Structure 1
Amino acid sequence: MTNLIGKQLGDYTLVSVLATGGMARIYEAVDRRLGRQAAVKVLELNPNGQDEDDIDMLPQRFQREARAVAGLEHDNIITLYQYGEQDGVYFIAMKLIRGKDLAQELTRLRRNGLRMEVRRGLRILEQVASALDCAHQAQIIHRDVKPSNILLDANDRATLTDFGLVMRDTFDTTLGTAFGTPRYIAPEQAVHSGSAVPQSDVYSFATILYEVLTGQTPFDGSTPMEIALSQINDPPPPPRTINDNIPEAAEREILRALDKEPTKRQASAGELIAAVKHAYFPTGDLGTEYAIKTTLLQQTMPSPPLPPPQPAASSALAPVPRKRSSMWEIVAALGMIVLVLAVIALVVSRSQLNAGSSTQVPALAPTINAAQPLTTPQLALVGSTQESAAAATATSESVAPVTPEPTPAPSLLLTYDDNTFNLINTGAADFDLHALQFAHGSNLFDGSAVPRSTLPAGTCFRIQLQRTQSSLPDGCAKLYGATYLPTTQRFFWRNEPDGSPTFEIRIDGDEVSTCPTIARGSSSTCTFSLPPAA
């Protein structure tokens, strides 16, 4: 693609490259008349590197994108300034958004072992849902809803961009063979791009919501075709198997939006996000949002003027009328006097006793102000150190050192069959999953890849084929997490392909036990112990 920095396209001078895609490049530009900064998306055709059909179709698709965006007015849809063609170069000038896209933010969080905070994620996706609903009301289907097409500014204001695959619901047919992005594409769209409906965008939107709440997309694979086939054929893993903090009602809504049948999904993205938000916050708690708005307002509003200085307290304050003492106050005062006299008598008595002793022990009674009530520490210190020392000696001689009871060795029950491998914590202590490895030849499952480091007592963790579903095994009160494998070739508990009778169990890389492998169609169990989690 030719570098166009310095070139004039319409009213815009291109000054730098912002991003490069497969068929377009986005430049930062300046409107020479208004002095306004803009983002200019440039489509360049390469006759040597593209099919002839694509060369004919791409300009039509590009123009269709411009017309679609121009017909939408919404705070969360990119604003279009100009469309044109110059010297064989097609371009669209749009509003320049300073910030990053949602894909970059999710990647940053994932690298730090984090998920996006729920309130923040829902606020961002509420804006995207509103933008999609606006497009759908105008009978425009985006067909490429994904995190990299959602721009975020410094205040998390979301902008939906890149309507390059847009299709009008009523009369457009698809141009070319483009069908969207495999990880976010709806099943019907993966089969045939022209089959997309508004609920196809809802499916893609639900996939982003799934990723925000769990940290991963429902389907993954080594090739785009493998992922697309999973979208078409496989049920998505329930999000609570990855993050059990997700409310059950939210999970139901997400799985409904990911149904293979478009008519079974929610009618709109707004309906989906509203239901999920209600599942998390049934009382409609807006406290955090209010606090954020208040902070922003305080940062932009001038501070109020200080009040004028007050005169001296002696002249400004009116005398406070004295209250008549109540009967309870008189009784309390008399009781305090009696208590003080009793303590003084006790001190004098102990001093006389100590005077007849051959060894003088100074009293540790603190100085007591009769005008102040006695506190518990003051009363505790009245007496002799001799008695305290004797008590301490008696205690040390009569109490044997306490030896802590050893922590019971935790145990793990493994149950496995053709498609599922369950790890059940049958002990009373947590298991350290991150130290655990299973190995069979070159096939290695490393527990450090599991999102949670510990497996609580009575719960289980599951490894299974991506498209299968099964009930909880006996002894497992709760499924604490799951990992889905795309193919049985990664099943370390199967005896294929080398016929090995066992697989290894390792702790921090050291072999501690072995368990029997199984043949296709068989099942087995195995028990062993692990060190408790630190």
Structure 2
Amino acid sequence: MQQDDLIGVTLGNYKILAQLGQGGMARVYRAHQENLDREVAVKVLPPWFAADRNFVERFNLEARLIARLSHPNIVTVHDADEYHGHLYIVMQLVDGGTLKLRLDQLQALNQLMDVLEAKRIFTQLASALSYAHEQGIIHRDVKPVNVLMDRAGRPILSDFGIAKALAGSKELTRQGAGVGTPEYMSPEQCQGGPVDGRADIYALGVMLFESLTGRLPFMADNYPALAHSHIYEPPPHPNAINPALDPAVSQVIITALMKNPAHRYQQASDMAEALERAVHSLPVDTGQRGSGPLEYNDPSRVATIPLFTCPNCRHFNKAQTRFCTACGFPLNPCRICGAQNPANNRFCSKCGQPLHKHQ
């Protein structure tokens, strides 16, 4: 196929205008939807996928599931179809670049992403993942190029479901493509095991590491070496690469990158909450915290509020906190099932077993 063979072609209701990008799996075009007179993005898969009827069924099923998602940080899917051997999926057009482009721009300037910018981007991405996970949908390929940015700087996660649809395709091996991207794959993905939302949280941790240190936690020129690192090797401590990074923010990254899924944040919203608290604890934000509720200002209340000590940094935390507000460390994990419980729980909220207390 020529690189521009679809320019000017009409796929269903969509006239292909220009190529926006190309990845290992597909090309993305700007297109005009003629019946509604609007511009959209059309992702077109290589023709060999359309020849695999099992893949086509999975692709259509995943497209229907993703089209039901409605979240400000998840790209809207308008349509999916097949036309003359071309499988395509039609999405909202987001034309502010990608997180990959943003990181490349910072690297070209020999700069790192500001922690406030990272907090803004990653809490929104975590919100998108939490929402999708609640709907039973796992992304499986979270990476900077799949984070679209609109012109206001809002991150919008794309390509939900594509990795799952590809998972059973025999063409993957033959065409040299893989499910997921090795630099961002969780240990369980690298081992070919079952995955859940915690694999996406790991990938989010890799991206946060990359954004705040300027490099990936693991680098190699081949898949086996990368997979080995994800499975067996501890990532470098973020502060070893960026000493200016606050330890509380580093701890958020470290927790997201735990090898055992049970030791990571169990929900993306947990990671977002820990990141918010870590950033708000920074001295630079001290003058901006007066707008929020100050719960411990009344001395008469302090003695009546039970506090729980973090076993990692000895910071005091409120009873319903699951992760330390200072360093992000799990406060009350279940040793049986790995669930993260509020600090004051005596029994695991997931499996009911008695919990070991740190206090």
Equivalent position to 1:73, from 56, 70, 74: 70
Equivalent runs, 1:397-408 vs 2, <5 Å? none
Tell me the distance in 2 between the aligned counterparts of 1:173 and 1:99: 27
Q: In structure 2, what is the equivalent of residue 252 of structure 1?
A: 251
Deviation at 1:173, TM superposition (A): 11
Tell me if the contact between 1:68 and 1:166 (Cα under 8 Å) persists in the aligned partners: no
Which runs of structure 2 are paired with 1:279-428 in the superposition (5 Å)?
279-282=278-281, 287=288
Secondary structure at the aligned position of 1:139 is classed as coil
Partner amino acid for 1:130? S
Q: Which structure is richer in relative contact order (CA contacts within 8 A, separation 6 or more)?
A: 2
Q: How many residues in Structure 1 have an aligned counterpart in Structure 2? A: 279
Measure the CA separation in 2 of the matches of 1:286 and 1:210: 27
Shift of 1:140: 0.6
Cα pair 1:165 1:180 within 8 Å, conserved: no
Structure 2 counterpart of 1:409 = none
Between stretches 82-91 and 258-267, larger displacement belongs to: 82-91
In structure 2, what is the Cα distance between the partners aligned to 1:165 and 1:29?
20
Structure 1: distance between partners of 2:65 and 2:34: 26
Identity %: 38
Matches within 5 A, 1:79-478: 79-167=76-164, 174-176=167-169, 178-192=178-192, 194-282=193-281, 287=288
Matches within 5 A, 1:477-492: none
Which contiguous aligned blocks of 4+ residues in structure 1 show a shift greater than 4 angstroms? 283-288
Change in CA separation of 1:103 and 1:243 when aligned onto 2, cut-off 3 Å: same
Q: How far, CA to CA, are the matches of 1:212 and 1:24 in structure 2?
A: 26
TM-score, structure 1 as length reference: 0.49
Q: How far off its partner does 1:250 sit? A: 2.3
Distance 1:272 1:154 in 2: 26
Shift of 1:217: 1.2
Distance 1:242 1:82 in 2: 44
In 2, Cα distance between the equivalents of 1:122 and 1:253? Answer: 11
Distance 1:110 1:99, change over 3 A: same
Per-residue CA deviation, residues 103-140 of structure 1 (Å, 9 max, x unaligned), is 11101111211001111111011111111011100011
Change (3 A) 1:10 1:285: farther
Q: CA deviation at 1:285?
A: 6.2
Give how far 1:28 is off. Answer: 0.8
Shift of 1:152: 0.9
Please provide the CA RMSD for this pair.
Answer: 2.4
Structure 2: segments with no counterpart, 5+ residues: 173-177, 292-359
Do the aligned partners of residues 179 and 32 (structure 1) sit closer, same or farther apart at CA in structure 2, a change above 3 Å counting? closer
Q: Is the 8 A contact 1:64 1:166 kept in 2?
A: no
Larger of the two Rg values belongs to structure:
1
* SS of residue matched to 1:195: coil
Give, in angstroms, the shift of residue 154 of structure 1.
2.0
SS of structure 2 residue aligned to 1:105? helix
Task: Describe the SS at the equivalent of 1:27.
Answer: strand
Partner of 1:23: 25
Give the secondary-structure state (helix, strand or coil) at the position aligned to 2:253.
helix
- Residue type matched to 1:224 in 2? Y
CA shift at 1:57, angstroms? 4.9
Gap runs ≥5 in structure 1: 291-534
- Give TM-score, length-normalised by structure 2: 0.72
**How far is 1:62 from its partner?**
2.9
Q: Does 2:3 correspond to 1:10? A: no
